[in-house]
Amino acid sequence: MTKKILHHPRSGRYLAWAVVGLLLVFPVITADVGGAESKSRGPIIDMHLHAFPADFLGPPGKLNPVTGKPSAAIATEEIMAASLANLKRFNIVKAVLCGPDRELLDKWKAASPDRIIASPMINGKSSPQDPHYNIASLRRDYLAGQLGAMGEVTAQFQGLSPNDPALKPYFALAEELDLPVGVHMGPGTQRGASPLRMSLGNPLELEEVLVRHPNLRLYVMHAGWPYLQEIKALLHNYPQVYVDLATLPWLWPREEFHYYLEGLMRAGYGKRLMFGSDQLFWPEAIEMAIAGIESADFLTEEQKRDIFYNNAARFLRLEQ
């Protein structure tokens, strides 16, 4: 749980984004008044939102890698309040909230019980005695409805394949309880001495897991970037698998994100792509992520609605 999991590159060289980011800071604070925006926009499901204590992975006030500025929300409670306000403002009706701290997950859920689907992060290295990772206590909390999904599974940051034996009990539990499971595959910025290995982010590392657990409701986070061919191969052979597009719409160069997204669309997977913000410490990232999808001119409005809502609603089996 104390292991580093931050995995997003610094890409402050995009000056245009810095300007956009500055413009976003103020609206975040006053987000609750954004009724017009939420009414004019169709509903959105965020499959990849984070709840971290502000001092997680370093002191509070971390710089938004795109804007180069800290968010207007600095403290843990401020980040929660501003993020929840942005969910409301942008008509995000459900959000899978991933975090390492169960008390904090509970706090977010209590503040917005209809929107938040609490989801414990699983790293594959922590002691099974820790209640956060203990199978029996997890089962109890899932059955009680306190938790609703599993992930982000961050084994890649520990230098583990998702196929590592340490993760077997978690995938078995998810299959038994029919839970959505998000597995981080792909991006990492812990360069140098970190245990993360880019090779372990290859989506095909999931193949044995999917064979062993044919009923697992698995989604590949970050769409397995940069493994475009491999994620297509996985989606081809395992039609139950979905992906989220988290991080890429706002932290990646726009052209690269659109190139990757277009590749998935061209291959015919437009019904299995789901929006994710990957809000970490910066609530403004939610709007930035939405903009990354909205600006994809090659998508029809219907395809955007699929990515923003319809695909995730089907994957989560929301009643409609």
Q: How far is the CB of 7 from Zn ion (least distance, A)?
A: 6
Pick 3 or 139: Cβ nearer Zn ion: 3
Pick 115 or 184: Cβ nearer Zn ion: 184
CB-count exposure of residue 162 (10 Å: 0-12, 13-18, 19+)? buried
Q: How far is the CB of 144 from Zn ion (least distance, A)?
A: 27
Return the closest-CA partner of residue 17 out of 67, 63, 69, 62.
67
Q: How far is the CB of 123 from Zn ion (least distance, A)?
A: 12
Pick 49 or 216: Cβ nearer Zn ion: 49
Tell me the two tokens of residue 70.
């800290």
- Taking residues 162 to 201 in sequence order and writing x for each that binds Zn ion by CB under 5 A, - otherwise, the string is ----------------------x-----------------
Pick 184 or 217: Cβ nearer Zn ion: 184
User: What is the footprint of Zn ion within residues 228-257 (CB under 5 A)?
Assistant: none
Query: Which H or E run includes 47?
Result: strand 44-50
Q: How far is the CB of 243 from Zn ion (least distance, A)?
A: 12
Instruction: Work out the number of other CB atoms within 10 angstroms of the CB of residue 192.
Output: 5
CA distance 214 to 269: 20
Rounded to the nearest 10°, the torsion over CA 76, 80, 81, 86 is 140
Q: How far is the CB of 91 from Zn ion (least distance, A)?
A: 24
Pick 88 or 184: Cβ nearer Zn ion: 184
Q: How far is the CB of 65 from Zn ion (least distance, A)?
A: 14
Pick 94 or 184: Cβ nearer Zn ion: 184
Chain residue whose CB lies nearest Zn ion = 184
List C-alpha distances in Å: 257 to 65, 223, 249, 253, 293.
16, 11, 6, 6, 9
Pick 6 or 296: Cβ nearer Zn ion: 6
Residues in contact with Zn ion, total (CB under 5 A)?
Answer: 2
- Phi, psi for residue 239 in degrees, rounded to 5: -65, -10
User: What is the footprint of Zn ion within residues 208-227 (CB under 5 A)?
Assistant: 221
Q: How far is the CB of 223 from Zn ion (least distance, A)?
A: 11
The single-letter code of the amino acid at 115 is R
CB 47 within 8 A of CB 312: yes
CB 124 within 8 A of CB 167: yes
Q: Is 102 in the site for Zn ion (CB under 5 A)?
A: no
- HSE-CB at 4 with a 13 A cutoff on CA atoms is 14
Positions in the binding site for Zn ion (CB under 5 A)? 184, 221
